[in-house]
Structure 1
Amino acid sequence: MRTKFLDMKVRLTILLSMTVLLGFSQSNTDMKSHYEAYYKAMKSQGDVNGVISALTHLNVIAPSKQRTDTLAFVYANNNQHIQALNTIGIEKNEADSDLAIQVKAISLKAINQPKRALEQFEILNKRSPNAYLAYELADLKIQTGDNEGAMTDIEAGLAEVQEGMTYAFYERQQPYEVSLKAALLHLKGLAQYNTDRSNIDAAIATIDEALALEPNFNLASLSKQALESRKGSGEKKEE
Structure 2
Amino acid sequence: MKKLITIVLVIFAVTLNAQSNTDLLKHYEAYYQQMKSQGDVQGIINAMTHLNVLQPSEARKDTLAYIYMSENKYVQAINTIGFDKNASDSDIALEVKAVSLKALKRPELAIGHFEEIFKRNPNVYVAYDLAELNMSTQNIAEVEKHITYGLANAKDDMKKAFYETQQPYEVPLKSAFMYLNALNTFNKDRKNNIDAAVDILDAALKTAPNFNLIQLTKTELLRQKQALQAQEASQEKK
- Asked if Structure 1 and Structure 2 have the same fold, meaning a TM-score greater than 0.5 normalized by the shorter chain, the answer is yes
The answer as to 2:22 corresponding to 1:10 is no
Question: Runs of at least 4 residues of structure 1 off by over 4 A?
Answer: none
1:197-236, aligned counterparts within 5 Å? 197=190, 198-234=192-228
Question: Are 1:147 and 2:140 counterparts?
Answer: yes
Q: Which residue of 1 aligns with 2:36?
A: 43
Gap runs ≥5 in structure 1: 1-6
Specify the SS of the correspondent of 2:203: helix
Q: Which deviations, in whole Å up to 9, do the C-alpha atoms of 1:74-117 show, x marking residues without a partner?
A: 10110000000000111122221111111111111101111111
- Within 1, Cα distance between the matches of 2:200 and 2:34? 50
Pairwise CA distance, 1:20: 1.4
Matched with 1:179 is 172
> What is the DSSP-based 3-state SS (H/G/I as helix, E as strand, rest coil) of the residue aligned with 2:228?
coil
| Structure 1 residue 225 displacement after superposition | 1.2
Q: 2:157: which partner in 1?
A: 164
TM-score (structure 2 length as normaliser) = 0.91
Which residue of 1 is the match for residue 23 of structure 2?
Answer: 30
Counterpart for residue 193 of structure 1: 186
Aligned length: 229
Q: Which amino acid aligns with 1:201?
A: D
- Taking the aligned partners of 2:23 and 2:32, their CA distance within structure 1 comes to 14
Q: Give the aligned partner of residue 77 of structure 1.
A: 70
The structural deviation recorded for 1:124 is 0.8
- Give me the CA root mean square deviation: 1.5
- Counterpart-to-counterpart distance in 1, 2:165 and 2:40: 28
- Alpha-carbon distance between aligned partners in 2 of 1:207 and 1:235, rounded to the nearest angstrom: 21
Aligned to 2:96: 103
Q: Which amino acid in structure 2 is aligned with residue 182 of structure 1?
A: S
Query: Which residue pairs with 1:133 in the alignment?
Result: 126
One-letter amino acid of the structure 1 residue matched with residue 204 of structure 2: A
Distance 1:50 1:106 in 2: 23
Q: Which moved more, 1:174-183 or 1:129-138?
A: 174-183
Unmatched runs of 5 consecutive residues or more in structure 2: 231-238
Alpha-carbon shift at residue 129 of structure 1 (Å): 0.8
1:70, distance to aligned residue in structure 2 (A): 0.8
Q: Which moved more, 1:112-121 or 1:12-21?
A: 12-21
- 1:149 Cα offset (Å): 1.6
State percent identity of aligned pairs.
49
Shift of 1:172: 3.1
3-state SS of paired residue (1:19): helix
- Mapped to 1, the partners of 2:156 and 2:43 lie a distance apart of 38
Structure 1 residue 174 displacement after superposition = 3.6
Moved more, 62-71 or 176-185: 176-185
Deviates more, 1:47-56 or 1:166-175: 166-175
> 3-state DSSP class of the match of 1:178?
strand
After superposing the two structures, state which structure 1 stretch, 42-51 or 187-196, moved more.
42-51
Q: Deviations over 1:27-63 (max 9, x none)?
A: 1011111111211221222211111111100000000
TM-score by length of 1: 0.91
Counterpart in the other structure of 2:233:
none
Return the letter of the residue paired with 1:32.
L
2:116 aligned partner: 123
